[in-house]
Amino acid sequence: MQNIIFIAPPAAGKGTISECLKNDFGYQHLSTGDMLREAIKEQSPMGLMVKDIMNEGKLVSDEIVIDLISDKLGEDGKPFILDGFPRTLNQALKLTELLNNLNKDYIVIYLDLPKEEALKRIAGRLNCSCGKTYNTLINSLKPKKEGICDICGNTLIKRDDDNQESFLVRYNSYLENTKPIINYYLSNKRLIKIDAAKDKQSVYQDIIEVIK
């Protein structure tokens, strides 16, 4: 299977799709957002440093996320998914260097989603600590029992940055920082665009077609 880099606005479904690919095809799912949230939960020095920045919807420093990814990339020999990295051109350039050194090939999947749809998804999104994501505003993504994970029975939580104010900061940061990366990968002929406004199953099928 192809190594995958996801580029997407907030709430485009990269976490959800990554979990499916991990379960169905054994991918290593590397989410910088999850790694940072874990550091916050553990109250590590790095976690304490990034907590407010993340809650406000701003980007943490390139150095921190590059260190996180450099430590994990290619660790277990499985094909990998990068979810949420790179988010700046500087991160993308560093990643190209890392992947060249590891002799890893990859494709870049750009999940395209209009801002209004992203905002709607953020409003209904709930997460479980096991990694499963739900949405109370989308029938097919609601948990069977309100507020409870179908898989492990844990209580679902709302991310601290899943509110309208942080969303707007995150979306603007995406426009400003992440869109130039799209041009970078277009020029490398690596980019494949997927319509992420479709339902989850259709988006997943479109992605499977691309990675096989």
Interface region with ligand AMP, contact rule CB under 6 A, candidates 50-58, 109-117, 146-154, 187-195: 50-58
Active-site annotation holder among 87, 94, 121, 132: 87
User: CA gyration radius for the chain?
Assistant: 16
Q: Is 87 among the catalytic positions?
A: yes
* Residue 73 is a binding residue for ligand AMP (CB under 6 A): no
19-38 residues near ligand AMP, rule: CB under 6 A:
32-33, 36
Active-site annotation holder among 78, 159, 198, 200: 159
* Residue 135 is a binding residue for ligand AMP (CB under 6 A): no
Residues 25 and 102: beta-carbon distance below 8 Å:
no
Residues 124 and 136: beta-carbon distance below 8 Å:
yes
Give the side-chain half-sphere CA count within 13 A for 163.
8
Active-site annotation holder among 14, 94, 121, 132: 14
* Residue 126 is a binding residue for ligand AMP (CB under 6 A): no
Cis peptide before 86 (omega within 30 of 0): yes
* Residue 9 is a binding residue for ligand AMP (CB under 6 A): no
Give the side-chain half-sphere CA count within 13 A for 90.
9
Tokens 């979990």, located at residue: 19
Measured CA distances, 139 to 76, 86, 123, 168, 198 (Å): 36, 31, 14, 25, 14
| Minimum distance from residue 61 beta carbon to ligand AMP (Å) | 7
- The smaller minimum CB distance to ligand AMP, of residues 114 and 145, is found at 114
Q: Is 121 among the catalytic positions?
A: no
What's the DSSP call for residue 106?
-
* Residue 84 is a binding residue for ligand AMP (CB under 6 A): yes
Report the candidate in 25, 34, 31, 29 with the shortest Cα–Cα distance to residue 1. Answer: 25
Residues found near ligand AMP in the complex (CB under 6 A): 10, 32-33, 36, 53-54, 57-60, 65, 84-85, 87, 91, 161, 170
Question: What residues act catalytically?
Answer: 14, 87, 125, 159, 170
